[in-house]
Amino acid sequence: MVYFLGRDVSVVITTESSVALETVGISGNKCVSGGTATSAGSLFANPMNTAAFANAANIKVPDLTGVDISIGAMDEDITYIGQKGIAKVEQKKEITLTLTRKKKDNIWDTIYNGPTNATFLENFSGTEYWGARWGLAGSGVGNATLLGDGLVNPKDVSGAETGEIVFGYRVHLMMKSGADLISIPNCILTSYTTTLGADSVVEETLEFTTQQGLIPSVNGTDMNIQETLAVDF
């Protein structure tokens, strides 16, 4: 587990799509996607259509107080007859990222808890009382600009290019030094909490989880925007 103070790291949240306007945000206190989610103050995740971290300055998570990263793996134990030692065969990664910030709006709350405008869902006609926890629906489901509902195999949530997967969100972290940049792909939202501190400052915490590995920047300053392929699921 690694913990950073908010002042020591900058964080950008994007969708897994590199197509312009494939965004996620809120409008009318409901989760929306596409061009409807581009208004200032209502955007949760931009598309990753630009690699330069500096160009993403306007969508950095504001008022961060803490960033907690836990990196692990799920292993399968293999026991050999007549032998004490066992083999640990890695099956998948288990990475959890927790962001904490001062609460100043209801974007995180709505994105996690909902409701979601059914216009931006594939198979529902009324307002649905869940959030945009799974990112975009993907063109393999029907329309990449719609929101996912968590009812589809992640490897089937394909994007505009053959073999690419747009399931979940990608979180990019840049250290204060400006020389260390990593990306965490295909994250879903697994927890949201709000706390009132002793100094009457309300903080909120959003937890991301993925089974993919960390992706380093190719040069330390550009975000890695290479889409995850279906074979990696």
The b/e string for 14-26 (b: 16+ C-beta within 10 A; e otherwise) is bbbbbbeebbbbb
Q: For 44-55, what is each residue's pLDDT tens digit?
A: 998 887 766 666
- Residue 145: is its pLDDT beyond 80? no
> How many domains does the structure of the chain reveal?
1
Answer yes or no: are the C-beta atoms of 56 and 223 closer than 8 Å. Answer: yes
**Amino acid identity, position 188:** I
The answer on pLDDT for 209 being more than 90 is yes
Chain segment 104-135, per-residue pLDDT in tens = 899 999 999 989 998 888 777 777 889 999 99
Q: Per-residue pLDDT for 65 more than 60?
A: yes
Q: Which residues of 72-83 are buried (b: 16+ CB within 10 A; e: fewer)?
A: eeeeeeeeeeee
Mean pLDDT of 160-183: 84
CB distance 74 to 94 below 8 Å: yes
Q: Give me the domain span that covers residue 178.
A: 2-232
User: What's this model's pTM, rounded to 2 decimal places?
Assistant: 0.89
Cβ burial, residue 204 (10 Å; 0-12/13-18/19+): buried
- Alpha-helix runs per DSSP H in 55-205: 107-113
Q: Is the pLDDT higher at 161 or at 207?
A: 207
Q: Answer yes or no: is pLDDT of 142 > 50.
A: no
Count the neighbouring beta carbons within 10 Å of the beta carbon of residue 205.
Answer: 18
> What is the identity of the amino acid at 134?
W
Q: 6-45 pLDDT, tens per residue?
A: 888 989 999 998 887 888 999 889 999 887 766 656 889 9
- Lowest pLDDT segment from 57-61, 96-100, 135-139, 227-231: 57-61
Which of 4, 10, 22 is CA-nearest to residue 183? 10
Report the pLDDT value the prediction gives residue 200, as an integer from 0 to 100. 64
Whole-number Å distance between alpha carbons of 192 and 111 = 10
Maximum alpha-carbon separation in the chain: 65
Q: Identify the pLDDT of residue 55.
A: 60
Range among 26-30, 168-172, 200-204 rated most confident: 168-172
List C-alpha distances in Å: 87 to 74, 75, 79, 139.
13, 9, 7, 40
Amino acid 143: pLDDT: 53
Place of tokens 């993919």: 212
pLDDT of residue 141: 46
Q: Round to whole Å and give the CA distance between 59 and 24.
A: 12
CA-to-CA distance for 183 and 180, rounded, in angstroms? 10
